[in-house]
Amino acid sequence: MTRSPFARPNNRLTRALDRWAARRVLRAMVAKTENMFTVRWLGKQIWQCPVDAWVMQEVISEQQPDLIIETGTFMGGSAYYFGCLCELLNHGEVISVDIAARETIPHPRVTYIADSSVSEAVITQLKDRIEQIQARRILVVLDSDHSEAHVSRELDLYSKLIPVGCYMMVQDACIDEYDVFAVDRPGPGPAIRKFLANQSQFVRDRELENRYVVTFHPMGWLRRVA
């Protein structure tokens, strides 16, 4: 196998330097974009790190999910982004759940649900829709209340909706990794670690997580394998 001319030495020092550089870049991005406040998709505020949003479109393009479920609508930007991707692919739909969204952005492929992401009624409604459209490929994006307890509950509930080979994507474990977000700890990180430690159906996809070096979502890509 030919070694890439761009490859870096893979040793403890270079890995430590790469992690340090990634943290510096992420902190600079947070400052430059006012914590992603200024990021836009087709003129709409999506409140996503552009690098992570790019990885998500790669996964959506590759897997072409029949249904994308998002918890945490907030201002509707990311649901709109997912809806646009579905439209471009001519496949799939989006359901976005938020107990009190600040705003929603209409899109023909997006449905908004105003309720708690962990309510029995919402889970029943999602299961019904999965059955109605005979969804075989599902992507779940958890981006609502980032407290450890809430994320743990979401992981338990939504993991049951994921078919083998598909992903549950947990956003913003950077809360537990970067000092700039320390005030919001404990966040998704401990919940993800406990989830992975207590079951064998999901694995952490490190390749997706580190594909473009910088990410807001360490440990975020969880693939169902069994």
Strand partners of residue 214 = none
Q: Is the pLDDT of residue 23 over 90?
A: no
* Residue 96 Cα distances to 12, 52, 180, angstroms: 41, 18, 28
What's the pLDDT band for 126 if we cut at 50, 70, 90? very high
pTM for this model (two decimals): 0.93
What's the pLDDT band for 224 if we cut at 50, 70, 90? very high
Q: Is the pLDDT of residue 40 over 60?
A: yes
The string of pLDDT tens digits covering residues 156-208 is: 999 999 999 999 999 999 999 877 676 667 999 999 999 999 999 999 999 99
| Residue 77 confidence (pLDDT) | 97
